[in-house]
Amino acid sequence: MKKILGLCVFISMQISANDSMGFVATGGVQYLKNPKISMQSEDLFISKNIIRVNYQFKNLTAQDITETVLFPLPRVGSSRESDFAHTEQLIQSFKVQANAQKIQPETHVRAFLPALTASGDFNSNGEVVDVTAGLKKCGFSDRDLMYPWLLQQDSTLNQRLYRCQDKTVQQLLKPYQADDEIYWESQIIYSWQQKFKANTLTHVQHEYMPLVGGSVSLYPEEDEKTYCIDQNFKAGLKKAKSQYAPYQALGYILKTGANWAKPIQSFKLTIERDKNELVSFCWKGQVKKISSTQFQMTEKNFVPKQDLDIIRTYALTDSKKY
């Protein structure tokens, strides 16, 4: 399953996932480089039940700056494996605060169909075409366009797609036969207005349930590079007789933090596991165990250069990689 990111994007108003797994990576704040606002700190907590991020931004100028903040969720397909992440839980759990005040973001929905090659076949590289405007002309509501996220039963959507007379939609549907189930993708984007007061810190927090998926069997030899599975992890699996046990995985996009005008001055990442759970992930810096179930990484002047993929599986003993 191709992993697709979810992240926050700030737009200045002044200038106007493998096939046996089911998870897509979500993420944190991306910033269109603005030398007037810096990220002072990022405190990121990741468990399989919650992702929580606290940011401190500083307006470096003597004037207030207003930004439109976007939180795009990943694109999600209308068909998926049975072990795919629980997408509806994410949109129900998404919360955001600024300076301890709750914010009710606006919701925007986009729809996509797979792009075609010059010969009219499906493009195998994952490229898609935004067909939101065309589907809305054909009477699709935002709720209809959320279908891949909600996966509620609606036997009429497929036929409504076929009946849509928008030229772009019709062109992209040419490879399908009359009774084929149409594959399409949906993206949900949250937005809100945020004021960054002059020479002042602004605190932004958001939290949501992560998109956790998995597979019925772990193959350490195949996954060791992605998750930096080492001999200690393998030994824990062997000791627990869990070499090919079911596992869960989640991803988090860190590299978007490199888009800031300056490095993140203070960065902290805490990863929590369940008791008797094996966890493995890649990290180039020091990993400190702060409790029996939590591991913490701290960095100064941090420019993230890799994303984070975490794999976890239960063992009968308290073995662990870290």
The tens digit of pLDDT for each residue in 193-249 reads: 889 999 999 999 989 888 776 666 666 666 677 888 877 777 777 776 666 667 778
Neighbour count for residue 87 (Cβ, 10 Å): 23
CA dist 64 → 14, 37, 303, 311, 320 (Å): 11, 11, 27, 43, 48
The whole-number pLDDT of residue 139 equals 96
Domain of 14 in residue numbering reads as 8-111+189-314
pLDDT band for position 14 (cuts 50, 70, 90): very low
The whole-number pLDDT of residue 80 equals: 62
Q: Do 320 and 278 form a contact (C-beta atoms < 8 A)?
A: yes
143 domain-assigned = no
Residue where the block lists tokens 């008797």: 276
Identify whether 216 is part of a domain. yes
Report if residue 225 sits inside a domain.
yes
**What pLDDT is attached to residue 220?**
62
CATH of the domain at 307: 2.60.40.3680
Instruction: Tell me, yes or no, whether 154 lies in a domain.
Output: no
pLDDT range class, residue 320, cuts 50, 70, 90: very low
Residue 71 lies in a domain: yes
Assess if residue 276 is contained within a domain: yes
* Least confident window among 21-35, 141-155, 239-253, 268-282: 21-35
pLDDT at position 225 is: 79
Biggest distance spanned by C-alpha atoms of the chain:
62
Domain total in the chain: 1
Confidence at residue 315, expressed as pLDDT on a 0 to 100 scale = 64
For range 103-109, the mean pLDDT: 90
Is the model's pLDDT at 299 over the cut of 90? yes
pLDDT for 39 equals 86
Q: Is residue 164 part of a domain?
A: no
300 belongs to a structural domain: yes
The 8 Å CB, 24+ separation contacts for 169-173 are 169/113, 169/131, 169/134, 169/135, 169/138, 171/116, 172/113, 172/114, 172/115, 172/116, 172/129, 172/131, 173/113
pTM of the predicted protein model: 0.75
